[in-house]
Chains A and B, each alone.
Chain A
Amino acid sequence: MTLCQSIETLSMALLDDELVAAERRELELHLLDCASCRHRVDAERAELDLIRKALVPPPAPALLKARIARALDAEDAAAIRSERRRLSRWFLPGSAIAAAAAALVVFLGAGAPGSRNGPEIASDVQKQQRRGLPLEVQGASTGPWLRNHFAPVEPPQFTEPGADLLGARLLPNGIANHDAALLQYVVALGPNRLTLTAVVLKDLRSDDLSGGQAYRVGDLVLRVHDADGMPVVTYVDQLHHVGYAFASERMTAEELMRLVVSTDLISRAQRGR
């Protein structure tokens, strides 16, 4: 079988880089001598170039990556929820949280029986976090927007590196009869970037957020609620009668607590006393 007889196959394999070195050398030497095979390979090469150029696909739409991230988040959340269900108590009072917050946090005890506002608010916050409504303002203008459209408060800032405030929106129906605004953050936790939602509630007194498990940080009280498997950490700024509820689908209560304790909100409140 001569090279000329196999040129159709060989030309294709050559252009697809499928020949081993010795075969390739042999064919290239043959092409120097054989004008007919050379023209054949040149024509095939031109055709292949045409096809490959035509087939270059457009890049993936930016939205697709966000969609996939969200689908994977839901998958993770389902895995985490089933893991939590296996553990009868998914966070241990005092131990892990105290360690995480450098012995700053003291467990006060579970909420008084019959207290209902805290869990109700936590559950509403959890629902808002899952609904994912579009933001009304984004990036650096969020602070001024919040003061103009909602209340004279500053968005809480995380002191942890890698935490970004993405934006905010008002919640049209409020939460538990309180006007409310939702702030969206992205926080780096190890190699992961997780979404964190903070809801700011107007006209709140400290006993409006009862229930859950209470922890003392300095002289402030934070409460941890379990809203259908999602941890929600709440705090009331008693000077301004403003409440804050933090929730993140893919964090443990310990991780969320550690982040909330690291906000300037807590340091501001402690300085203010």
Chain B
Amino acid sequence: MLAVREKRAEFERQALVHTDALFGAAYRLTRNARDAEDLVQDSLLRAYRFWDSFEQDSNCKAWLLRIVTNTFINEYQRKKRSREVLDAASAEQDAIDGVLMHAEATERQSPEQALLERSVSDDVQRALDGLPEDFRTAVVLCDVQGLSYKEIADIMQTPVGTVMSRLFRGRKLLAATLREFAVAEGYVKPADTKPPDSPDPAGKPDETIDLGKYRAARTAREGSQS
């Protein structure tokens, strides 16, 4: 009993503080709030069950993001879950949540603000929809979560060069789509939107960008100078 509560308190202190960050990643991965909530809840429950296997002193947020990413790849992706089941569960959950919610009143936005934010954020979600899964995951882990190439490589189980390549091409595609939307909706003029020169971002699947090649050349250069 005591052990259960100690575990819970420790989990709340180390893991649940990252709930907002996990939701951010999940929201950008699933592209809708309801799936994101389910994904975060499932992932945290999984993390709680395997809390004993978390190496204390390591990066808890990265560990949780790995669970979110894997859960997303393994379940949310392949399994198109029946909406009716989800709807029923969510209605039931809403009734249960009613009791819990008294204390945490949500801050309300003005309707104008909500409308403005919705149109922009819809564009972002649509732009993300167009990205191949691996590109999107790399971009979300780097540009939403601020993880390093190495941390992303560990989570995605690919070499750092592949991460850089996915990130590079994912960003190019995303920026191009966002620019298209901005032009289409008249936020910017076509002339303002010239992208930096770059090769076709879609490129070949999983080619790598090699920082190592530059580093080797640099070392050789320094060697010859000394």
Contact = CB atoms under 8 A, between A and B. Distances in A.
A68 B40 contact: yes
Contacts of A10: 211, 214
Interface string A38-73: 001001100110111011111111111111111110
A50 B127 CA distance: 13
Interface in A12-48: 12-13, 16, 18, 23, 26, 40, 43-44, 47-48
B213 interface: yes
Among A54, A69, A79, residue most surrounded by chain B Cβ atoms (within 10 Å): A54
Given A9-B214, A51-B175, A57-B27, A192 B8 contact: yes
A23 B221 CA distance: 13
A43 B193 CA distance: 11
A67 B37 contact: yes
A161 interface: no
Chain A interface size, as a band, is 35 or more
A135 interface: yes
Give the dominant DSSP class at A's interface: helix
A114 interface: no
Contact of A80 (B4, B124, B127): B4
B147 to A, nearest CB: 10
B28 A55 contact: yes
B106 interface: yes
Given A51-B178, A66-B104, A80-B4, A60 B167 contact: no
Contact of B97 (A13, A52, A66, A75): A66
A134 B99 contact: yes
A57 B24 contact: yes
13 contacts: A9-B210, A9-B214, A16-B167, A18-B149, A40-B196, A44-B196, A51-B139, A60-B19, A64-B41, A68-B16, A69-B100, A76-B4, A132-B99
Given A64-B23, A190-B5, 13 more contacts: A43-B195, A47-B195, A50-B178, A51-B171, A54-B178, A57-B27, A60-B19, A64-B37, A64-B41, A66-B101, A70-B96, A76-B5, A135-B99
